[in-house]
Amino acid sequence: MGKIQALFWDVGGVLLSNAWDHTERDLAIEHFLLSKPEFEERHTELVVPFEEGRVSLDEYLERTVFYQSQTFSREEFKQFMFSLSRPKVQSLELARSLSSKCEYAMATINNESRDLNKYRIQKFELAEIFDVFVSSCFVGIRKPDERIYRLALELTQFSAEECVFIDDRQENLTGAEKVGIRTVLMKDAQQLRRDLQSLGIEA
């Protein structure tokens, strides 16, 4: 195996809370008194094009929430969605430390919708840590499709054996492993640090 040159990171579940997963949707459903079965049915129909950047946030909300009149505004709902994002402080600081050493190329590979992804990059200053954002909403491919990992390799110009991908979901790691990228399943920041150290990566 060659020396590791690049670290690819998932965002939601690794560096930050998830952007719009079932937990976040449940909070919105409760807060705005929505019908969960109706909302989830409509969400399921739209989640793929939403995260692939083919449906905007306004279009998504029009079809999941505002297809009928509501007592709250679209802007109120958006702000609530954005407010749910929280940092995973220890793993975010680990990534920041590794980035500051300038020994590794740093990139994300993540599934997020465009507006939420842009908000989270700005809010948590991720552009100070990462050189490249291989986000599903920008590239039109979602994990665990092997093409998104191949694209990350092409964009960074590293071979698969020179890279490590960190995610909190095994199915996403399996996709990366199929193209030859080494992987780390994150459970918590301490375990992540140990697993990276075992690969020779010191923060």
pLDDT by residue (tens digit) across 152-202? 999 999 999 999 999 999 999 999 999 999 999 999 999 999 999 999 998
Determine the Cα–Cα distance for residues 98 and 101; give it in Å rounded to an integer. Answer: 5
Average model confidence (pLDDT) across the chain? 97
Does the CA dihedral 33-35-135-4 come out positive or negative? Answer: positive
* First and final C-alpha spacing in the chain: 21
Residue type, 41: E
pTM of the model: 0.95
pLDDT in tens, 94-144: 999 999 999 999 999 999 999 999 999 999 999 999 999 999 999 999 999
Confidence of residue 12 (pLDDT cuts 50, 70, 90): very high
pLDDT of the residue at 2: 72
Architecture of domain 22-83: Orthogonal Bundle (1.10)
pLDDT of the residue at 203: 79
Q: Which CATH superfamily is domain 6-18+87-198 in?
A: HAD superfamily/HAD-like (3.40.50.1000)
Residue type, 134: V
How do the domains of the chain map onto residue ranges? 6-18+87-198, 22-83
Flag whether pLDDT at 33 surpasses 90: yes
Determine the Cα–Cα distance for residues 199 and 179; give it in Å rounded to an integer. Answer: 19
Mean pLDDT of 17-23: 97
Flag whether pLDDT at 1 surpasses 70: no
